[in-house]
Structure 1
Amino acid sequence: MSNYHTPVMLHECIEGLNIQPSGTYVDVTFGGGGHSREILKNLGPDGQLLAFDQDADAQQNIPDDDRFTFIDQNFRYLKNFCRLHGAVPVDGILADLGVSSYQFDQAERGFSIRFDAALDMRMNQASELTAKQVVNTYDEASLHRIFGIYGEIQNAKSLAKTIVTARLNAPLNTISDLKNAISNLIPRGKENKYLAQVFQALRIEVNQELEALKDFLEQSADVLASGGRLVVMSYHSLEDRLVKNFIAKGKFSGEVEKDFFGNDQKPFDAVSRGAITASEEEIKNNNRARSAKLRIAVKK
């Protein structure tokens, strides 16, 4: 499925991994397989690649290659499954966070504001929690928190109250139901941006994206060999902040801890100063690259 998803900053990601031909690598967000296929091109006959993806649709893209192992799981289980496959330690880990173009384009998945469909937004279609359940069953305080923190929406409190009031008349089952219920709160001229923030908040909650990212980052330090590379690409500030803090401090908030001798207690050193962003040319060809931030670190 070549139209599944165009990988963002492909060259920069592969360069960041610093691939050794006989090494073991992990692509924790397989998706359309674009990054995985490029990693395989750089591996020799003894190299090994493991790839994670919880979306059943991604399995249509699995390459026919003896060096490749597909793991049908969320990347928050990185350590367990790398151990299960006898692949610890690994030489590099790549994560391309967010939703693939393919998922956005599948109307029935409910990720996109462009279509009308059931409020779903599950990346793993076997999981139970959907966006419909969030908007219809969460209390006002919980909705306020989700929209305020995950969506960074300014009128999050009013938004939560409006949804709770609207669902008293009839459940909000579809994207149209939700849009109609909150239409009076959407700023004129900024409709798409506002709705994108609402959808982002719901998607993060449904998929527990930030919790999964934290689990993954902490485990990456245990799974990587000394000198191994961690390459992470994020698409919004909440994700990027977690990645940046973990690389810089070995934790997600507060100051870096020091040992008895005053040495920093953190597993990684940043390879790139600040985040790497896509070129103007790439952004022109692939709009999704506009918000991408790539961070590369090496395990101490």
Structure 2
Amino acid sequence: MNHVPVMLDEVLTALAARGGAIYIDGTFGAGGYSRAILSAADCRVIGIDRDPAVRPVGDDLKRASGGRFVLVEAPFSAMRDVVAEAGGHLVDGIVLDLGVSSMQLDQAERGFSFAKSGPLDMRMSGKGPSAADAIARLTEKELADIFYIYGEEKKSRRVAAAIVRERAENPFTTTDHLASVVAKAVGGKHTKTHPATRTFQGLRIFVNDELGELVRALSAAEQLLSPLGRLVIVTFHSLEDRIVKTFLRARAGLNAGGSRHMPEIERGPEPSFRLLTRKAIEPSAEEINVNPRARSAKLRAAIRTEAPAWPIDISLFPNAPSLSRLEASS
């Protein structure tokens, strides 16, 4: 297996795997983190991935690990149900590597990348509305909001307008068709980043409800981790990192306003996490040189306290179009 996960050494240090413990790799992918955790200690790992294409890799690792590993096909937001169905209650550590995997990007037929022509799909699970459905059915304003909020595309209105004009005559079914229309709409000189990159990112995040999944997963992890259990998360863009940072700082008692001399009842719940580091850990220059995908990665980690889990924080959800709107029109 040639796949090397981003910031592997830093993830293993933060997780501090130990014998007899149970860990969750919530974004199994090519299995790099799971394989390394199993090698680091005589522990058990539950891999979770909603992509059915990773099943053969999971089966191979289960055999190689002597049964210490199991793969479950599910979104990582369902990790509590996954553990409960396995007869468990709490776990000792959870690792999440967010975003699209290199395996998915490399498969043109999945439609995640415009590097090669492929169907405009982008669904990690292969279920539900596709990217082509979103492009065909959503309004110009909804598309512009998706590109601006999820993709952080400054020219989102211009891009959305160009797409709506084009789809009236030529429906979008392939990645290269969409990429060419977006590139013309964005205009200007092309830098190292393709002009359609942000639009594709926004569309992918929307189709897979990635930020909603993240918020629900953070809440689930808070409820699943045993005291002293560790949560380790690697993000790849600012929207993900902002949500993770806000969640962990709040749960560590670092986001509360007002005076520290206020009565306890007014200062909110007891901290449910203790941060391992105040600032995010970033990849080394050596790793970025070997693996350019690592350049935008940030690692945040925290240790669970004995305090009760907090209620899910709906303020973490981005104020952007919801996938339910598209599902309802299917």
With 188-197 and 226-235 compared, the bigger mean Cα shift is at 188-197
Q: What SS class does the counterpart of residue 192 from structure 1 fall into?
A: coil
- 1:27, 1:200 → 2: CA distance? 23
Q: What SS class does the counterpart of residue 84 from structure 2 fall into?
A: helix
- 2:36, 2:132 → 1: CA distance? 38
Aligned to 2:309: none
Aligned to 1:237: 238
With 185-194 and 162-171 compared, the bigger mean Cα shift is at 185-194
- 1:226, 1:220 → 2: CA distance? 12
Shift in alpha-carbon separation, 1:82–1:181, aligned structure 2, 3 A: same
The question of whether the paired residues in 2 share the 8 Å contact of 1:24 and 1:87 is answered with no
- 2:257, 2:228 → 1: CA distance? 20
Identity, in percent, stands at 37
- 2:266, 2:208 → 1: CA distance? 41
The question of whether the paired residues in 1 share the 8 Å contact of 2:182 and 2:199 is answered with no
Deviation of the 1:256 alpha carbon:
6.7
- 2:6, 2:303 → 1: CA distance? 21
Q: What SS class does the counterpart of residue 277 from structure 1 fall into?
A: coil
- 1:237, 1:275 → 2: CA distance? 12
With 265-274 and 12-21 compared, the bigger mean Cα shift is at 265-274
- 1:175, 1:282 → 2: CA distance? 30
- 1:289, 1:27 → 2: CA distance? 19
- 2:192, 2:232 → 1: CA distance? 34
TM-score by length of 2: 0.84
Aligned to 1:208: 209
Deviations, residues 202-234 of structure 1 (Å, cap 9, x unaligned): 100110000000000011000000111000000
- 2:86, 2:166 → 1: CA distance? 49
Q: What SS class does the counterpart of residue 23 from structure 2 fall into?
A: strand
- 1:234, 1:274 → 2: CA distance? 13
Deviations, residues 166-201 of structure 1 (Å, cap 9, x unaligned): 111120111122123233222322373431111100
- 2:160, 2:87 → 1: CA distance? 47
Deviation of the 1:261 alpha carbon:
6.2
With 155-164 and 89-98 compared, the bigger mean Cα shift is at 155-164
Aligned to 2:85: 84
- 1:178, 1:168 → 2: CA distance? 13
The question of whether the paired residues in 2 share the 8 Å contact of 1:79 and 1:223 is answered with yes
Deviation of the 1:288 alpha carbon:
0.8
The question of whether the paired residues in 1 share the 8 Å contact of 2:34 and 2:47 is answered with yes
Aligned residues: 293
- 1:32, 1:175 → 2: CA distance? 24
- 1:245, 1:8 → 2: CA distance? 22
Letter in 2 for 1:260: I
With 56-65 and 112-121 compared, the bigger mean Cα shift is at 56-65
Q: What SS class does the counterpart of residue 96 from structure 2 fall into?
A: strand
- 1:191, 1:11 → 2: CA distance? 28
- 2:301, 2:134 → 1: CA distance? 35
Deviation of the 1:6 alpha carbon:
1.9
Aligned to 1:227: 228
Aligned to 1:289: 294
The question of whether the paired residues in 2 share the 8 Å contact of 1:270 and 1:296 is answered with yes
Deviations, residues 2-28 of structure 1 (Å, cap 9, x unaligned): 13x321111110111111211111100
Shift in alpha-carbon separation, 1:111–1:259, aligned structure 2, 3 A: farther
Shift in alpha-carbon separation, 1:198–1:180, aligned structure 2, 3 A: same
2:28 aligned residue (27, 30, 54): 30
- 1:145, 1:259 → 2: CA distance? 40
Aligned to 1:106: 107
- 1:283, 1:192 → 2: CA distance? 16
What runs of 5+ residues in structure 1 fail to find an aligned partner? none
Aligned to 1:269: 274
Aligned to 2:128: 128
The question of whether the paired residues in 1 share the 8 Å contact of 2:183 and 2:196 is answered with no
With 60-69 and 174-183 compared, the bigger mean Cα shift is at 174-183
- 1:74, 1:259 → 2: CA distance? 37
User: How well do the aligned residues superpose, as a CA RMSD in angstroms?
Assistant: 1.9
Q: What SS class does the counterpart of residue 120 from structure 1 fall into?
A: coil
TM-score by length of 1: 0.92
* Match runs of 1:1-300 below 5 Å: 2-3=1-2, 5-44=3-42, 47-62=43-58, 63=61, 64=63, 65=65, 66-125=67-126, 127-186=127-186, 187-190=188-191, 192-250=193-251, 255=256, 259-260=264-265, 262=267, 265-300=270-305
- 2:267, 2:181 → 1: CA distance? 55
- 2:35, 2:121 → 1: CA distance? 30
